[in-house]
Structure 1
């Protein structure tokens, strides 16, 4: 991973950018496969999806460079962008899998089925949205089936803090019901 200064020709503004090489991308492959697993991509397709995501990210970073966010490590900036790319690709995968009749075809409560289940799902989302941001993030990662150690690493806290936040969030959600 390399840093370089670039100048916006229109505004004359200087900004610092990072570039990634092949080895940096390969280190991120397990991260992308983990996201694909959590979103419901079948094991046979995870590696292909990871390759597509990393290639798309490489093209994106090569064309535009990744702007360094003050106070954030280079890897964090790259991982944030890659997570967005991976979720978008996994959604496309799930749509095409449903359309073709293969892959995970579970019907989510928000898209059909019993109106009572849809109502409960929406109420649950509203309750989660009312949580403080630090607790909401832990609940979201728990819903994506992250382990507590993965959650702690993703949020940037120690394992005990992640467990405590998850417990506190569950207690608050129980009170809100």
Structure 2
């Protein structure tokens, strides 16, 4: 069975936020909303400031999409069933069913959902389900990343690039203590001793 997920190379991410813009263009993401947030060391999406003391300064960015969790806390709290999970692990929001109550936003520990004021609905990363359903092998964020920091694919296929990346590298996942089973794995191709 297919189960989609991400592997994101933090060493290759240079904070250009091309993934954010590519997602906005592909998915008509409203102004002021980001489905792929790229956080700096301070946890912000703007005003990058280096960490450390001169001359040992460093930058690190963390792209944060929806985690498409195995145990998505946003699912059980949705009163209308607008949030659903496909058999391939992609968590989606049906804007026709969404009443804008924002309970799913409160439940998400990754802050991966936003409220769209124009439609009065909650929106989020769809893992470019429309592209994957059309037989395209990549999301728009993966396709447009200039440093090839993002890999998307079938976590259940041991021969997929995402599975090989996770198997061959030491990866981390965010907020594992929340027991959500996030399907975004982070790794570094070069260990900077951080």
TM-score of the two chains, using structure 2 as the length reference: 0.25
Q: Which has the larger radius of gyration?
A: 1
The structure whose residues are more often helix, as a share, is 1
Higher relative contact order, chain-length normalized (CA < 8 Å, sep 6+):
2
TM-score of the two chains, using structure 1 as the length reference: 0.26
